[in-house]
Chain A
Amino acid sequence: MNALARTFEAAGLTTVVINPMPVWGQRLGTPRTLGVEFPFGHPCGLPGDAALQTRVVRAALDVLAGAAGPAPVVVEFPEPWPGDFDHWKRAWHPPEPSPIVRWLREQAQRRAQEKRADS
């Protein structure tokens, strides 16, 4: 998404990224970032919580229209995630491990087996 923001901005569009990992906005040179300390999959908040979603969107629009350089600009949304951390650190994960996670686990298992076979 940071690469896309740079592409859009270079094409003359004004961009803001609502990012749960705002440090990447800084490190990758994203023009404007609104950092939200929200779990993955929920950049604008909880389902059905229109008030929170609106506050996030309005904050992002303020950054879009009001941020002054020098870029990269990172603005931090001040509200904490309204849910329980221990629940959400698990709840954002997909029900099945993603293909790359599955593949990495298989590789690790294979290496461990080879090591056992060698010894």
Chain B
Amino acid sequence: MHVLRQRRTGAPESNICSYLWQPGATERISRADALGDRAQSLYGRCMAIDSFKWLPPSLRGFYENMHVPPPDGVPWSPLAKPLREARIALVTTAGLNVRGLEPPFDYEREQREPRWGDPSYRRLPRDVRQEQVQTGHLHINNEDIDRDFNVAIPITRMLELEAQGVVGSLASTNYSFMGYQPDTAEWSARYGPEVARLMKDDAVDGVVMTPV
């Protein structure tokens, strides 16, 4: 049985939780505690995971020092039913499309206009097969997704959990966006609300989202 134990650290409004469900977890928490002051001074919070671990050093500094205005509140819609009854959709930003169903994202325009990223979305039916999934994201190495799309959009894993009764069902349609968005205005104003409506029409309760 998994145990989600919330452990609040840092400022009162922060809510960093430790996930304790297997041996080894406690070691990482000790690491977070040891990092404590430094992590809090860098990010204002205590986090064991290094969010900039895989970036080149120059980009790490850029992101660490980037000024981000504090969010204007945080929306909160708790799951209204038990997980075993809930319908779950998957949404990734891996820039995937299904061959024969929809065209790829407009990567050609991004090549011409590097400060633009295609803000639209593509659909992935729950019975999609590996050979139908087309990659093309220009900011990551797509080889592993070409081999097994579950690293970015875990449709097969969710179908297994549906069969085991862990979740009620996987949605009939899942979605891919393309994550390189210098400006997320169109996501917030147009495409995000559109996909939210489509998921609600499909009786979706919860969304597992996987940025790449």
Interface residues of A, Cβ cutoff 8 Å to B: 1, 3-24, 26-31, 34-37, 39-48, 50, 53-54, 56-79, 85, 88-89, 91-96, 98-100, 102-103
Contacts and interface: CB of A to CB of B under 8 A. Distances in A.
Given A13-B206, A18-B210, A23-B47, A98 B79 contact: no
Contacts, number: 294
Kindly name the residue among B24, B92, B140, B208 whose own CB sees the greatest number of chain A CB atoms within 10 A: B208
B4 A3 contact: no
Contact of A37 (B2, B53, B211): B53
Which 10 pairs between the two chains have the least Cβ-Cβ distance? Answer: A29-B71, A7-B192, A47-B148, A99-B114, A41-B140, A11-B196, A1-B211, A71-B74, A78-B25, A23-B51
B208 A95 contact: no
Contacts of A46: 144, 151
B34 interface: no
Interface string B108-150: 0011011100000000000000000000011111101101101
B15 to A, nearest CB: 5
B2 A62 contact: yes
B83 A64 contact: yes
Contacts of A47: 144-145, 147-148, 150-151
Contacts of B32: 76
Contacts of B204: 13
A7 B210 contact: no
B54 A92 contact: yes
Given A21-B51, A23-B43, A67 B17 contact: yes
Contacts of A26: 14, 16, 43-45, 47
Interface string B65-107: 0001011111111111011001010011110000000000000
B49 A76 contact: yes
A12 B49 CA distance: 29
A24 B74 CA distance: 13
Nearest to A32: B76
A96 to B, nearest CB: 8
B36 interface: no
Contact of B200 (A11, A16, A89): A11
Nearest to A12: B77
Nearest to A15: B207
Contact of B17 (A31, A36, A75, A85): A75
B47 A29 contact: no
A61 B94 CA distance: 20
A65 B79 contact: yes
Given A11-B196, A95-B141, 12 more contacts: A3-B184, A7-B193, A27-B71, A57-B161, A60-B208, A70-B15, A72-B71, A76-B18, A78-B24, A78-B29, A94-B139, A98-B180
A99 B111 CA distance: 5
Nearest to B121: A4
A24 to B, nearest CB: 7
A108 to B, nearest CB: 11
